[in-house]
């Protein structure tokens, strides 16, 4: 990878989309300030100039832009390189499953949500409570609505508690939740609770933290810089807090249409819920449960793009939730101060029952194993993919310096540059003004490779003083 931290539309289209790692999050389409790309068959396609090459954007190659590539989760910086900007000096503990402040297991006490929820119903209960309390004015979720084919959710903005409740449960085909942030903007929502799988959380952090000085180019006026800044920062600024879902993979739609409907003879309209617990469980409305061996489902129907994802546990979310190794309960990982603040209030409401992680050793062991396995599975991709070992943490100061070096000698006057920088940063602090940024950190907590012939030894679950309980200490 060259020294410049900047990624372009051309790089994204070649090293992500054409290469085959594009996760279909749609963040690039959401972020495009000039309507150059559309989301077609799950991928970004440039439709502004149909006779031009698939990797040509006139704005990128003319005045300059590349907001899309700056949000793309499959280009450097990736999750591991964004830890410092996301957590900074506020980081609590750090382990193989990322930075966290607390890890524990929880269940909602609301019976209707507990019944509909995938595991402990925590995601839905937290969003419903936050909406009732006015902490959010809406939530971005995946749900199968009246206009969707059965079993195929679409991204939705839920503004009422009933709409939030209707989104309970997980669907294992991909649903590009980031795209719904455009609807949230259209509806004028300003405090959104965002739910998504890890590759949908990462673009939000990139939109929040990528240094905007790259928007200032020789040919651009402040007005265009301001527009591009709005698209780079706008979606993430709307998010009040994010809930990331643990995720090893999604399945191709053919799991539903070929395997379940055609081969197993189960009409998709009769499917009430799915789960993956060592096998794929298909819960039907008549009470029956059909099963597909997980290895078989993965071999035949795992979406290949997921193999390029090393983030099992939504490492950059405010709160991450999953259900491995639990029984009708959700593993909750509080990662940020924002996540902790909202959780403390939620738990104090008495709506949730919590247990320390030490009481859930099986869940802990599976989390450690899966987090490690997922990190290791990512193949080393093209130069800009951020998959080479030992890459640096993203440092906004270096990015700002690189952007200013790129401007040197272009003839842009100091006054014009200053006006454009004003437009790029708006009121936010510039990296040169921020003190306390922590440079590259190794990832602690990795138990490493076992010696030949030895079994991998996992450390015991964390005690409450090590973050292994809810902020209230597991006494709700
Ligand atoms: C595609 C996918 C794969 C997952 N893989 C794992 C895994 O390997 N291991 C693990 O421990 N947990 C996994 N989970 C998370 C798990 O299924 C539960 O969502 C989590 O434990 C929270 O449970 P809950 O009862 O608190 O959530 P609920 O209260 O039931 O809320 C579930 C939330 O999931 C959202 N959602 C549903 N389908 C999708 C989708 N396709 N894309 C994005 N958001 C969606 C809904 O909007 C809802 O807000 C996965 C989830 C998804 C969506
Ligand atoms: S470079 Fe800018 S204008 Fe071109 S596709 Fe990307 S975001 Fe859109
Ligand atoms: S931002 Fe998302 S949809 Fe766009 S190219 Fe990257 S991975 Fe694909």
Contact 424 CB / ligand 2 (< 6 Å): no
> 């591009």: which residue's tokens?
228
**Residue 162 host element (H or E):** helix 161-165
> 């995720």: which residue's tokens?
247
- Ligand 1 atom 3 nearest Cα: 247
**Residue 11 host element (H or E):** helix 9-12
Residue 296 and residue 302: Cα distance in Å, rounded? 9
Q: What is the topology classification, in CATH, of domain 251-302? A: Nuclear Transport Factor 2; Chain: A, (3.10.450)
pLDDT higher for 309 or 452? 309
- Ligand 3 atom 5 nearest Cα: 22
Q: How does pLDDT run across 115-131, given as a tens digit for each residue?
A: 999 999 999 999 999 99
For residue 59, which ligand has an atom nearest its CA? 2
| Antiparallel, parallel or unpaired: β 239-245 and 192-196 | parallel
Distance between start and end Cα atoms, the chain: 49
* Confidence check: pLDDT of 436 > 90: no
- Ligand 3 atom 7 nearest Cα: 22
pLDDT at residue 448, as a whole number: 65
| d(CA 36, ligand 3 centre) in Å | 14
| Pocket test residue of 17, 155, 197 for ligand 3, highest count of atoms within 8 A of CB | 17
**φ, ψ for residue 401 (rounded to 5)?**
-65, -40
| Pocket test residue of 155, 170, 277 for ligand 1, highest count of atoms within 8 A of CB | 170
Average pLDDT score over residue span 417-437: 84
For residue 68, which ligand has an atom nearest its CA? 2
Contact 72 CB / ligand 2 (< 6 Å): no
Span(s) in the chain for CATH 3.10.450: 251-302
Contact 28 CB / ligand 1 (< 6 Å): no
Q: How does pLDDT run across 293-307, given as a tens digit for each residue?
A: 999 999 999 999 999
Contacts for 443-449 with beta carbons within 8 Å, 24 or more apart?
Answer: 443/80, 443/94, 443/96, 444/94, 444/95, 445/94, 445/95, 445/96, 445/97, 446/96, 446/372, 447/96, 447/368, 447/372
Q: How does pLDDT run across 189-214, given as a tens digit for each residue?
A: 999 999 999 999 999 999 999 999 99
Q: How does pLDDT run across 12-62, given as a tens digit for each residue?
A: 999 999 999 999 999 999 999 999 999 999 999 999 999 999 999 999 999
| d(CA 138, ligand 2 centre) in Å | 28
Grouping H, G, I as helix, E, B as strand and the rest as coil, residue 197 is coil
Contact 245 CB / ligand 1 (< 6 Å): yes
Q: How does pLDDT run across 248-261, given as a tens digit for each residue?
A: 999 999 999 999 99
- Ligand 2 atom 5 nearest Cα: 36
| Antiparallel, parallel or unpaired: β 138-143 and 192-196 | parallel
């Amino acid at each position: 990878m060259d020294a410049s931290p900047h990624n372009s539309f051309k790089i994204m289209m070649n090293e992500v989309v054409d290469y085959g790692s594009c996760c279909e999050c749609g963040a690039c389409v959401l972020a495009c300030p000039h309507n150059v790309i559309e989301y077609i068959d799950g991928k970004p396609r440039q439709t502004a100039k149909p006779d031009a090459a698939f990797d040509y954007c006139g704005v990128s190659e003319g005045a300059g832009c590349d907001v899309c590539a700056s949000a793309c989760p499959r280009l450097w910086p990736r999750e591991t390189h964004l830890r410092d900007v996301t957590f900074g000096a506020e980081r609590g503990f750090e382990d193989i499953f990322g930075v966290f402040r607390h890890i524990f297991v929880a269940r909602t006490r609301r019976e209707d949500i507990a019944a509909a929820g995938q595991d402990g119903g925590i995601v839905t209960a937290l969003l419903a409570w936050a909406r009732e309390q006015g902490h959010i004015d809406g939530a971005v979720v995946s749900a199968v609505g009246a206009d969707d084919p059965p079993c195929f959710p679409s991204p939705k903005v839920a503004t009422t508690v009933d709409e939030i409740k209707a989104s309970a449960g997980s669907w294992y085909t991909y649903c590009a939740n980031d795209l719904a942030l455009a609807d949230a903007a259209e509806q004028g929502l300003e405090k959104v609770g965002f739910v998504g799988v890890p590759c949908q959380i990462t673009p939000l952090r990139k939109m929040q933290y990528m240094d905007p000085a790259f928007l200032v180019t020789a040919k651009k006026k402040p007005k265009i810089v301001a527009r591009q800044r709005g698209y780079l920062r706008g979606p993430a600024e709307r998010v009040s807090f994010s809930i990331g879902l643990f995720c090893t993979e999604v399945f191709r739609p053919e799991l539903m249409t070929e395997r379940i409907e055609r081969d197993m003879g189960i009409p998709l309209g009769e499917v009430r819920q799915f789960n993956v617990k060592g096998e794929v469980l298909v819960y039907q409305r008549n009470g029956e449960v059909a099963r597909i061996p997980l290895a078989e489902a993965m071999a035949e129907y795992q979406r290949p793009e997921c193999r390029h994802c090393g983030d099992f546990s939504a490492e950059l979310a405010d709160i991450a939730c999953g259900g491995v190794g639990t029984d009708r309960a959700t593993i909750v990982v509080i990662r940020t101060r924002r996540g902790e603040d909202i959780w403390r209030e939620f738990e104090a409401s008495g709506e949730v029952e919590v247990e320390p992680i030490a009481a859930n050793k099986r869940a802990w062991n599976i989390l450690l194993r899966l987090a490690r396995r997922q990190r290791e599975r990512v193949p080393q991709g093209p130069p800009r993919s951020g998959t080479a070992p030992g890459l640096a943490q993203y440092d906004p100061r270096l990015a700002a310096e690189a952007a200013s070096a790129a401007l040197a000698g272009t003839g842009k006057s100091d006054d014009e540059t200053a006006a454009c920088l004003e437009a790029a940063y708006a009121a936010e602090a510039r990296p040169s003004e921020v003190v306390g940024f922590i440079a590259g950190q190794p990832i602690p907590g990795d138990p490493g490779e076992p010696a030949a012939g030895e079994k991998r030894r996992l450390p015991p679950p964390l005690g409450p003083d090590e973050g292994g309980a809810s902020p209230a200490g597991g006494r709700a």
